[in-house]
Structure 1
Amino acid sequence: MPRAVREQQMLDAAVRIFGRRGYRAASMDEIAELAGVSKPLVYLYLNSKEELFGACVRREAAALVDAVREGVGAASGERADRQLWGGLRAFFAHTAERPDGWAVLHGQARTQGEPFAAEVAAMRAEVLAFVTSLIVAAAREAHGDPLLPEREVAGLARALVGAAESLADWANADASVSGKEAAATLMRFAWAGLGGLLEGRGWDPA
């Protein structure tokens, strides 16, 4: 089997074990067994448990960012709210499809110190910059001011990203909550506001 394919098998197994058992409790024996290889082969390819975990974090972070970018890109040329909707749909679909990967990123890597926390911080910063650009575009259009400072909406973007992370945990913990429902919940809250929702004014994806 080609090395690249074998490595992906090992990473698939490692993400599953790390995501479900946690970094500390996960063992290389379990990972090797799930991957269908010997433990020495895992060490030969990925050197150590730390390097294996780092490779998992980098792969899952890149996959998540790519999914969000593709979701927004699919609505390229449409209004900012439609692009944000596309990004949120993609984010929640991805975290639902790869719950172990999300657990590695949001539950494990951030608590294991450097360099893992830095990897997740870099991914989050990239998503945050992306979301900020969408909200800035919408705000400038709404205000009729193409020079509206980014700082005016930077806090809103941070609040939105933090809420998305929390809702992803909720959706993955409750099988009755779909990714689309989580995305719609956040979109209504973000675009219509709590006041609008209480008054019966929401945001409709249609």
Structure 2
Amino acid sequence: MSGTSSQGEGSPGGASADSVRRRRVPRAERERQIVDVAVEVFAKRGYHATSVDEIAELAGISKPMVYLYLDSKEGLFLACLHREANRLVVAFQGAAKAVAPSPELRLHAGLLAFFGFVAEHRAGWVVLHRQAAELTEAIAGAAAEARRAVMAEVADLVRAGIAESGPASRLSAEDADFVAHALVGAADSLTDWMARHPGRTPEDVTLRLMNMVWVGMGGVLAGRTWSLEDPGDAPH
């Protein structure tokens, strides 16, 4: 087993066993390095055009070692997807919980963390948003699960806003779910807008979305609704 590890770590010819052992990287760290490389390559080339040989070369290990750690190309992509999805959910949760106990401030913080993640980890977002849903059943299922996790966080904030609005609001739990889907869908599409407007910061995008969504929601939470029969009474 030690001979296989030494070869897999790409040690130069003639290196002593002691020097190889000194350079040996813990498994968790090696997996992180592989996934770091894989996220960039998958984002650049797409799943089908990506070569495990290229990932192995860029990670500085052998191709069999990639399979030893992550089982298959699909397993490697799933590892990338799970890590980036977890990063996104943790960033959203952490930001939302760190601010004052107000649903709108928590939502603002969560959206800012979301758009910040997209700006800072563009390759990870491409893997999550662009590619996963079009691949194997296992990958598409993992992507859907990641989306549901984010959706649940947003729906919780919307439900909190409904609960704090008092009896004036006629919104239900289903309404909260509806708003969460609309909000997450808007945030998804705005990542494309961000890519086309690189001068706009996550703060800019978050503020614009809050103005579009939360200001309108404020009227609904206060009991005002728009009606096709009497559109002139719609709140401004």
Cross-structure match for 1:55? 79
Cross-structure match for 2:227? none
Cross-structure match for 1:89? 112
* Residue 2 (structure 1) aligned with residue 31 (structure 2): no
TM (norm. structure 2) is: 0.77
Question: Residue 145 and residue 118 in structure 1: after superposition, are their counterparts in 2 closer, same or farther (change >3 A)?
Answer: farther
Cα pair 1:11 1:56 within 8 Å, conserved: yes
Question: Residue 103 and residue 44 in structure 1: after superposition, are their counterparts in 2 closer, same or farther (change >3 A)?
Answer: same
CA RMSD in angstroms comes to 2.2
Cα pair 1:15 1:56 within 8 Å, conserved: yes
The 10-residue stretch of structure 1 (185-194 or 96-105) with the greater mean CA deviation from structure 2: 185-194
Question: Residue 117 and residue 135 in structure 1: after superposition, are their counterparts in 2 closer, same or farther (change >3 A)?
Answer: same
Match of residue 122, structure 2, among 88, 99, 104? 99
1:40-62, CA deviations, whole angstroms, 9 ceiling, x for partnerless residues? Answer: 22122112111111111111111
Higher relative contact order (CA 8 A, sep 6+): 1
Q: Distance in 1 between matches of 2:153 and 2:145?
A: 13
Over the matched positions of the two proteins, sequence identity in percent amounts to 44
Q: Distance in 2 between matches of 1:119 and 1:181?
A: 31
TM (norm. structure 1) is: 0.88
Q: Distance in 1 between matches of 2:101 and 2:166?
A: 18
Q: Give runs of aligned pairs for residues 63-142 of structure 1, distance below 5 A.
A: 63-75=87-99, 77-142=100-165
Matched to 1:100, the amino acid is A
Shift of 1:126: 1.5
Q: Distance in 2 between matches of 1:47 and 1:80?
A: 43
Cross-structure match for 2:53? 29
Return the index of the structure with the highest Cα Rg. 2
Cross-structure match for 2:67? 43
Q: Which runs of 5+ in 1 are unaligned?
A: none
Moved over 4 A (4+): 145-148
1:93-146, CA deviations, whole angstroms, 9 ceiling, x for partnerless residues? Answer: 111111000000000111113111111111111111111111122123224369
Matched to 1:78, the amino acid is P
